[in-house]
Structure 1
């Protein structure tokens, strides 16, 4: 688990670096906020599509080849982005970066779910926490590198660092995995709950819910740096808020893992989604520097456990032999939501000159997620009563 967490913490830089350099890239290429945000959109799209690809690789060949593909994509993507000469090149290369980062999230969660039985939810949450550890550590580092050396040398340095460190850690993971062959998915226990829904139908419902919650989630995560710049606080304060948000998200993910082991993935996800909606509401009414720090911490604490809960639901209700693929599909839906949320928030800002309407948009999507989770929970209660 420790090695897997380290790999996830390094490889997930692909999700967060573009958020920090968004204002700088926008200024250099003399483009709109919405156009610059397309780099994040492509990164998230690559993250989603790559999650399905690396999930299939994991189900068939194991986690090590999937991470190897991720290392190659991260190295090529960051080196290319640092050398890009136009906005379209920078944006397109973030599709490759997203594919690289994908191997360190969904496949790792699915793989960790096969290693433990009693504390499966906690194991999945720990594996997923690498994503938020990256969000806590990398934004200040990327901001410092950008301010000190420029965003181009910073991207090249990130690519080289990822290739060297992740290669070493993957070899170590491979050595440790050799001692745990009995815990592969072929020997994993059957699903714990039966919603009496076809697997494809349940997957589709989870995908819709995932899109909805992540459109809402994207508004603060993608635009907090630019939002603070617009308010006159500067991008450095926004990077600190993003780091704070994701730092509290780590606490949320670990706590959600404990909670899911006690009450199940559906209830855990529902609680997180309701709380996320309240945090978005607070952003509408408070925009002082101190209040933004507090709300960003609250937002991270409320929503950090949402995405890992989808992986827990997949393992609770679907066959283990296709867990990584199904998790990859749901993660693809989540990044479609993040991509859509990141873009549409920038487009709303360009149209209105304010992020207020973007926060309202996020709240509407969040309500759809809550509705789907309530429906699944009621169905689960009905089936329990019938049983």
Structure 2
């Protein structure tokens, strides 16, 4: 290997620099995943609608986010990550600008679905897939760091958005969100021009082919299992993430306290994600996924028993610590067992399933609340979906025992 190849080899200093830049891009782009969560009650007041209807912009954003993960992943596989970043910046800017002048709830929701959600997808699957090519020994750690951009966005943006809505109003805040995405993301895009060399890709192809043989499943069979598992886990995950702000408001603690809880959840979720990367590099992605799924179910169960302000902060923190490592593990498993040249689109498909699970879960939780005037059944609904996920993942973990034993 010559000096030029060594400089840009997997796990090199360049790879870690690229990871830091990807984390920044992901934090900015993934505002599109969280802005609709914070403004649920503001949307209710602005358009005079029910809670389930006010949840529709989030649902539309998640649908756009899911489709965008597949489309942007495919684009990244073919042309590299630069074009998805540029396109994402333009979509986010135009989406938030149109949302700021929406005359109805449906216009507001469609701006989230067709523009904001699609643009936000740039900061998730495409970046994760791109990073996975630049790391071998520390791939699990790199993937969870890349995926943490979404959680950093969840920690940083809710406070700023809540302040903006309270100070300047719903519409002005959305306009400035679009401008911020454009100003930050466009100058960073050219820094991602370099692509992995052919030798690195060829070595990764050989490794994943051997792993698929030991697993005993075809790529499409494994992908189907991960799609179902990803959908189920995120239906469960969506209940606290999407409705914690509204839940606190209903309990009389106020929207500001709910936004603080969401930030705490996301901050501790980052700790969880990073920790899961260390664990995955030791015991494998499937075992780590099973452990995280089990702990998420335990945290959801705690929500049924505690609703005091202090106890709710504690339970929300526990939930953040337990669920943060789940979603990135799907990407780790895909890169362990799937062809690397298809990483963008395959990771995008599975991540889209998790996003559709979040969208469905967020909407159905609002529907359950409207029917019962309580979130108790919504938490039970989340537990049921989590059990399905845990069953699939445990079966998959048994299939992957040779990898765990070798580790």
Fold conserved between structures, TM > 0.5 = yes
* Larger deviation, residues 204-213 vs 190-199: 190-199
Q: 2:116 aligns with which of 94, 97, 102?
A: 97
Residue matched to 1:79: 97
Which residues of structure 2 form unaligned runs of 5+?
1-18
Pairwise CA RMSD of aligned residues?
1.5
Question: In the alignment, is the contact (CA less than 8 A) between 2:66 and 2:356 conserved in 1?
Answer: yes
Work out the CA distance in 2 between the residues paired with 1:295 and 1:253: 18
The answer to whether residue 332 in structure 2 is matched with residue 312 in structure 1 is yes
Residue matched to 1:300: 320
Q: 2:371 aligns with which of 327, 337, 351?
A: 351
Aligned length: 382
The answer to whether residue 128 in structure 2 is matched with residue 112 in structure 1 is no
The answer to whether residue 174 in structure 2 is matched with residue 155 in structure 1 is yes
Residues 1-387 of structure 1 aligned to structure 2 (within 5 Å): 1-95=19-113, 96-174=115-193, 177=194, 181=197, 185=201, 188-189=204-205, 190-191=207-208, 193-194=211-212, 195-381=215-401
Q: CA deviation at 1:99?
A: 0.5
Deviant stretches of 4+, over 3 Å: 180-189, 382-385
Question: In the alignment, is the contact (CA less than 8 A) between 1:41 and 1:339 conserved in 2?
Answer: yes
Report the secondary structure of 1:233's partner residue.
coil
Question: In the alignment, is the contact (CA less than 8 A) between 2:284 and 2:403 conserved in 1?
Answer: no
Q: CA deviation at 1:309?
A: 0.2
Q: CA deviation at 1:183?
A: 7.5
Work out the CA distance in 1 between the residues paired with 2:49 and 2:403: 54
Work out the CA distance in 2 between the residues paired with 1:130 and 1:230: 30
Residue matched to 2:4: none
CA 1:302/1:380 → structure 2, altered by over 3 Å: closer, same or farther?
Answer: same
Q: Deviations for 1:36-69, whole angstroms, at most 9, x for unmatched residues?
A: 1111111000010000000100111111111111
Question: In the alignment, is the contact (CA less than 8 A) between 2:299 and 2:319 conserved in 1?
Answer: yes
Q: Deviations for 1:255-309, whole angstroms, at most 9, x for unmatched residues?
A: 1111100000001111111000010001000000001111111111100010000
